[in-house]
């Protein structure tokens, strides 16, 4: 029995931030990220605070717009229009989820694609499908790919199984893995024989949002496991994978916390820096 190597997202994110900080310190003008948060969702407030802190640490200006829960969609669209036109703003992020009276797609589609550092605009989704280097890749999948490359440089020919088909994690990581020459299966809540499918995975991406759902019966020996899940439990944060089952079976695994989460924020900073460079032709 072997013990898996931990893919330390906290450490990798920290080295990416250090390198960004150095590059940004050499710029005459600093990149600016505008973050919009609507309402008082405690988890969203925590995420926004972490993003502000990370910007501060790397030398990116962050401007947070905290809006009332009852704001109308038109008012939010007006703010996005202003930020789209503001040359001093390089990246725009709208913290999700939005209150139910606001149509999330209307909002995300209103952000100009060149400032869409979350990579959720359909133009960026299309550019990702076309393998365009101009695509803003959504932060969580972009971070996952970097973690996978810590385990293995060349992913060609590996069987990858993605559990979850969300627009922000499951689908973009599936596309990135296809671009890496993996053979990809995307599964979801209607999938039959999920255990068998997962057990065939050389790379297993668990992004379903169910506490410790993936147990030893789902895991192939010597596979690489990326646990995207963030589930708040009475025992603290837990992933979608039962870590104690996985650790003796797989070859590599991301911990929760300290795996995918810190990489998501590092990729947001990287996307903001890249947006700045392309907008200023630096």
Contact positions vs ligand NDP (CB under 6 A): 140, 163-166, 168-170, 187-191, 194, 207-210, 228-231, 260-261, 264
Q: How far is the CB of 20 from ligand NDP (least distance, A)?
A: 18
H helices present in the chain, as ranges: 9-25, 42-58, 73-85, 104-110, 122-129, 139-151, 170-179, 194-199, 243-246, 260-280
Nearer to ligand NDP, 89 or 174 (CB): 174
Beta bridge partners of 237: 232
Nearer to ligand NDP, 168 or 224 (CB): 168
Structure tokens at 130: 């076309």
Helix, strand, coil fractions of the chain, as percent rounded to 5: 45, 15, 40
Comparing CA positions, the residue from 161, 200, 199 lying closest to residue 182 is 161
Nearer to ligand NDP, 9 or 31 (CB): 9
Q: How far is the CB of 31 from ligand NDP (least distance, A)?
A: 21
Structure tokens at 24: 């940004």
Question: Do residues 91 and 32 lie in contact, with contact meaning Cβ atoms separated by under 8 Å?
Answer: yes
Element (H, E) at 66: strand 61-67
Q: N- to C-terminal Cα distance for the chain? A: 51
95 is catalytic: yes
Q: How far is the CB of 263 from ligand NDP (least distance, A)?
A: 7
Torsion of CA 172, 123, 96, 207, to 10 degrees: -10
Nearer to ligand NDP, 174 or 182 (CB): 174
Residue in the shown chain whose Cβ atom is closest to ligand NDP: 166
Could you give the CA distance from residue 175 to residue 205 in angstroms, rounded to a whole number? 13
Catalytic residue among 118, 202, 227, 240: 118
Between the alpha carbon of residue 3 and those of residues 49, 52, 136, 219, 245, the distances in Å are 35, 36, 36, 14, 11
238 is catalytic: no
242 is catalytic: no
Could you give the CA distance from residue 266 to residue 12 in angstroms, rounded to a whole number? 9
Nearer to ligand NDP, 207 or 269 (CB): 207
Catalytic residue among 95, 202, 227, 238: 95
Nearer to ligand NDP, 180 or 227 (CB): 227
Catalytically active residues are 51, 95, 118
């Amino acid at each position: 029995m072997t013990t898996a190597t931990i893919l330390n997202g906290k450490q990798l994110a920290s080295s990416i931030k250090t390198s960004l900080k150095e590059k940004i310190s050499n710029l005459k003008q600093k990149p600016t990220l505008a973050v919009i948060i609507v309402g008082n969702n405690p988890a969203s407030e925590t995420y926004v605070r972490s993003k502000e802190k990370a910007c501060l640490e790397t030398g990116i200006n962050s401007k947070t717009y905290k809006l009332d829960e009852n704001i109308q969609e038109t008012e939010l669209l007006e703010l996005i229009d202003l930020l789209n036109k503001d040359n001093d703003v390089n990246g725009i992020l709208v913290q999700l989820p939005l209150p139910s009276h606001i149509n999330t797609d209307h909002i995300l589609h209103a952000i100009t694609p060149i400032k869409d550092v979350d990579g959720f605009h359909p133009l960026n989704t299309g550019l990702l499908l076309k393998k365009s280097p101009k695509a803003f890749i959504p932060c969580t999948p972009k971070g996952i790919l970097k973690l996978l490359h810590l385990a293995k440089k060349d992913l060609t020919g590996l069987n990858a199984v993605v559990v979850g088909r969300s627009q922000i994690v499951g689908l973009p990581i599936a596309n990135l893995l296809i671009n890496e020459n993996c053979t990809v299966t995307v599964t979801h809540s209607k999938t039959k024989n999920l255990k068998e499918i997962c057990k065939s995975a050389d790379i297993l991406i668990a992004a379903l949002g169910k506490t410790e759902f993936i147990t030893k019966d789902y895991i192939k020996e010597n596979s690489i496991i990326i646990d995207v899940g963030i589930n708040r439990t009475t025992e603290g944060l837990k992933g979608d994978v039962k870590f104690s089952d996985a650790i003796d079976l797989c070859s590599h695994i991301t911990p929760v916390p300290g795996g995918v989460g810190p990489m998501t924020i590092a990729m947001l900073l990287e996307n903001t820096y890249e947006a700045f460079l392309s907008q200023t032709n630096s």
